[in-house]
């Protein structure tokens, strides 16, 4: 009876340890973000600006420049920097009549970096401030340009200021 109790205790501890291992990132490239720093994409205060992440877009391999202005207001400018990885590009196309894009593009590197938005807020006078953070990942054999593209309604127009958080 004593051996059964010990065996049950060891098995319970092993199951508990294995289940706690599944709470972290699913692979080495994903990192957890401190929830205290993260702001949701929607909010109800008068300074918060709602946005949508422009998913399915990557930086064109031919794009070697840097963004002097993070605010992209035309399809031509956006298409010169990004391309769509989706099978049906029209399904994820940005409507530049109603929106603009705020973009952050990393330099070429062989480290898989990720840029995470923390907040997008109105600021005085007539400014939109994007606070974001770079997270370093693993080394990779080829170079890539990590990026972030947020779609913002034109009603929240203003000079875009980038604020990198550390």
CB 99 within 8 A of CB 154: yes
Q: Any idea where the domains of the chain sit in the sequence?
A: 28-164
Q: Which residues, other chains included, contact 109 with Cβ-Cβ below 8 Å and sequence gap of 6+? A: 143, 144, 145, 146
Query: For the segment 53-100, what is each residue's pLDDT rounded down to a tens digit?
Result: 998 898 998 898 888 899 999 999 999 999 988 777 776 789 999 999
* pTM recorded for the entire structure: 0.69
In this predicted structure, what is the pLDDT of residue 138? Answer: 77
In this predicted structure, what is the pLDDT of residue 106? Answer: 85
Between residues 136 and 3, the one the model is more confident about: 136
Q: Which residues, other chains included, contact 160 with Cβ-Cβ below 8 Å and sequence gap of 6+? A: 69, 70, 71, 102, 127, 128, 129, 130
Please give the helix or strand (H or E) that residue 19 lies within, else none.
helix 2-21
117-137 mean pLDDT: 91
In this predicted structure, what is the pLDDT of residue 15? Answer: 40
């Amino acid at each position: 009876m004593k051996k059964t109790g010990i065996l049950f205790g060891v098995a319970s501890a092993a199951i508990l340890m294995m289940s706690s291992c599944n709470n972290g990132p699913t692979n080495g490239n994903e990192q957890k973000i401190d929830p205290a720093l993260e702001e949701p994409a929607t909010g109800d205060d008068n300074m918060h600006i709602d946005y949508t992440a422009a998913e399915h877009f990557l930086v064109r391999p031919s794009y070697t420049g840097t963004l002097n202005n993070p605010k992209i207001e035309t399809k031509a400018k956006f298409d010169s920097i990004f391309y769509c990885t989706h099978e049906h590009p029209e399904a994820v196309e940005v409507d530049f009549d109603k929106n603009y894009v705020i973009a952050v593009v990393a330099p070429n590197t062989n480290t898989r970096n990720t840029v995470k938005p923390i907040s997008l807020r109105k600021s005085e006078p007539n400014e939109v401030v994007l606070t974001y953070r770079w997270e370093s990942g693993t080394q990779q054999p080829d170079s890539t340009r990590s990026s972030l593209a947020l779609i913002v309604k034109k009603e929240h127009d203003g000079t875009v200021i980038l604020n990198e958080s550390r």
